[in-house]
A = this chain, B = another copy of it.
Amino acid sequence: MADDNKFDIAVIGGGPAGLSAALTGRIRNKSIALFEHLDFSQKLQKAHLVDNYLGLPEVTGKGLMQHFAGHALAHGPTLVKEKVLNVFPGDKMFTLLTPKTTYEVKAIIFATGVVSTLLFEGERDFLGRGVSYCATCDGRMFEGRDVAVISYTQEGEHETAFLGELCRTVYYLPQYKGDFGHMRAPIKVLSAKPKAITGDGQVEKLVTDQEELKVHGVFIMRQSDPVENLLPGLELDGEVIKVNRDMSTNIPGVFAAGDCTGKPWQIAKATGEGLVAVLSAITYIDK
């Protein structure tokens, strides 16, 4: 592995919490890989007007996100536009897997935003047995077969195009508004709500509010994956990552900050936690 894939700290997520962590981490002279595979916080960018981030009165969500990203990136964290699919704890180092390659880091900060609250019925049972979060990784297993893609982000369209080159039929179920005219056969765009994934040992059907689709695989593309799938053993408190006052989790070297640690879902809470998390991560590394 090349040295440029090794970092002191991986920050997973480029919203306010992740950017705050990256900023102070760089100021404290640590190498930071900032994983942000989308266009920074989509949630914040949709906010019409934010007026309770102290010192920046009456800014649009989009303006605030630009301020934030500009400030943090000016300090030179390495922006990695890849989705982290899995984290493997190792001896003193963690290995992060993306669709493209792997990275090694000494500490990790999860700043993945609001955890999608509901898994689909059957989703967890069939994970690795037909359910996948990454077409690039798992697509080839479904060559010549039928699959469905449930997507909450536009990014799903690229993954689906790739599946379209491999599979016999690809049902695309976008859960966002958009223009899907560019999607060609064998892709079929359906405006249905997914309900459950069923099968016998392996995925056999995706049940929607309109019909039952016979498929061998179901790809689910959310803005952030259920974090417990990313790093098994990470302790949750309900649906959020359980953290201590110093933003440490139950796994040494793993920290969390922002919406993924719970309410209130507010910018100042996220930036404050990002700061605390990175300082705690630095203390952990330097020990």
Contacts and interface: CB of A to CB of B under 8 A. Distances in A.
A24 interface: yes
Nearest to A19: B54
A20 interface: yes
A64 B67 CA distance: 16
Interface string A36-56: 000000000000000111111
A269 B52 CA distance: 15
A72 B51 contact: no
Contact of A68 (B52, B55, B68, B74): B55
Nearest to A59: B55
Contacts of A55: 53, 55-56, 64, 67-68, 71
Given A272-B272, A272-B273, A273-B272, A54 B20 contact: yes
A23 interface: yes
A4 to B, nearest CB: 25
Nearest to A65: B55
A275 interface: yes
A27 B52 contact: yes
Interface of A: 16, 19-20, 23-24, 27, 51-57, 64, 67-68, 70-72, 74, 243, 245, 262, 264, 266, 268-276, 279
- Closest 4 interchain pairs by CB? A272-B272, A55-B67, A268-B275, A20-B54
29 contacts: A16-B54, A20-B54, A23-B54, A24-B52, A24-B266, A27-B51, A54-B67, A54-B71, A54-B72, A54-B271, A55-B56, A55-B64, A55-B67, A56-B56, A56-B67, A57-B70, A245-B262, A264-B275, A264-B276, A264-B279, A266-B276, A266-B279, A268-B268, A268-B271, A268-B274, A269-B275, A269-B276, A270-B272, A272-B272
